[in-house]
């Protein structure tokens, strides 16, 4: 077993577990394990990989938390469908819990991805999706309730991310655009009277999408997220 190095000393538990994680991931990558397939038993995996059952068990637990594996009661452990949204779910938790400079960094990432997704959407958005974007914009303009504005803001950007046609990018943006994350960032920002500006920025994005103008859409989305990013950077400091 790989838990005992050649010098006879016990290998650090974390190291062995990480090796087990990498070996199971490699089995999925090379096709030995397919999405939806049941894993061999802990005993069989331990024998095949030369790693102790306890390390295999910890590796399975870790990969289950990450959404790579799922436990089915009374049936066993299976490889998930490996959907981007499921695999990136923990990314949203990181975004929700981040503070200070890390929060600014995440907004910077969102600005880059949001502008790219909006540019792609300008070229690909369907009439139905464009109508949904317009509907959320109208709803934002019809209320001063922060909760309602936040809800329609989320859906406005969610429709655009889906319209971009890149599932992985949409999943990352979903993690960077959770209700908790946006509420934390926007609370202070909107207290400074930014509702009118937010409406104008969303309107500019909608106009660019309606015009099928990718560069205008990219600029409008970057400016929209950039305003919040700069405000937050000022609150956090250098």
What pLDDT shows up at residue 77?
A: 95
Which residue has better confidence, 9 or 191? Answer: 191
User: pLDDT tens for residues 12-36?
Assistant: 556 889 999 999 999 999 999 999 9
What pLDDT shows up at residue 165?
A: 95
What pLDDT shows up at residue 181?
A: 63
State the pLDDT confidence band at 101, using cuts at 50, 70 and 90: confident
Average pLDDT in the chain? 85
Which residue has better confidence, 85 or 114? Answer: 114
Domain with CATH 1.20.120.530 in the chain: 87-236
CA angle, 109 then 199 then 107, to 5°: 10
Q: What is the spatial distance between Cα 9 and Cα 211, in angstroms, rounded to a whole number?
A: 67
pTM: 0.71
Looking at 3.30.930.10, 1.20.120.530, 3.30.70.890, 1.10.3470.10, the CATH number of the domain 87-236 comes to 1.20.120.530
* Mean local confidence (pLDDT), 160-185: 81
Of the candidates 119, 104, 105, 234, the residue with the CA atom closest to the CA atom of residue 166:
119
Percent of the chain with pLDDT over 70: 82
Judge whether 214 and 119 are in contact, CB under 8 Å: yes
Angle, helix 53-65 to helix 13-29, in steps of 10 degrees: 60
User: pLDDT tens for residues 114-134?
Assistant: 999 999 999 999 999 999 999
Whether domain 13-82 has CATH 3.30.230.10: the reply is: no
What pLDDT shows up at residue 5?
A: 47
Judge whether 220 and 205 are in contact, CB under 8 Å: yes
What pLDDT shows up at residue 97?
A: 66
User: pLDDT tens for residues 59-72?
Assistant: 999 998 888 999 99
Residue 12 half-sphere exposure toward CB, CA atoms < 13 A: 3
What pLDDT shows up at residue 235?
A: 73
* Mean local confidence (pLDDT), 160-173: 93
* Mean local confidence (pLDDT), 76-85: 86
State the pLDDT confidence band at 177, using cuts at 50, 70 and 90: confident
Domain with CATH 1.10.10.10 in the chain: 13-82
DSSP state for residue 8 in the 8-state scheme: S
């Amino acid at each position: 077993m790989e838990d005992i190095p050649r010098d006879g000393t016990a290998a650090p538990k974390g190291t062995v577990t990480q090796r087990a994680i990498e070996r199971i991931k490699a089995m999925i990558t090379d096709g030995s394990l397919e999405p939806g397939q049941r894993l061999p038993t802990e005993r069989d995996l331990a024998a095949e990989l030369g790693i102790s059952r306890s390390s295999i068990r910890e590796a399975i637990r870790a990969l289950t938390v990450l959404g790579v594996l799922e436990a089915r009661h009374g049936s066993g452990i299976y490889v998930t469908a490996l959907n981007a949204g499921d695999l990136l779910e923990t990314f949203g938790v990181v975004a929700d819990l981040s503070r200070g400079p890390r929060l600014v960094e995440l907004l910077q990432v969102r600005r880059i991805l949001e502008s790219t997704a909006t540019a792609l959407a300008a070229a690909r958005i369907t009439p139905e999706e464009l109508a949904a974007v317009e509907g959320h914009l109208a709803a934002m303009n019809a209320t001063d309730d922060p909760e309602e504005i936040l809800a329609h803001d989320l859906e406005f950007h969610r429709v655009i991310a889906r319209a971009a046609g890149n599932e992985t990018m949409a999943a990352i943006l979903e993690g960077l655009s959770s209700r908790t994350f946006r509420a934390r960032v926007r609370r202070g920002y909107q207290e400074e009277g930014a509702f009118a500006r937010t409406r104008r920025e969303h309107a500019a994005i909608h106009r660019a999408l309606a015009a099928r103008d990718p560069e205008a859409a990219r600029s409008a989305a970057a400016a929209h997220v950039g305003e919040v990013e700069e405000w937050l950077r000022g609150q956090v400091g250098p």
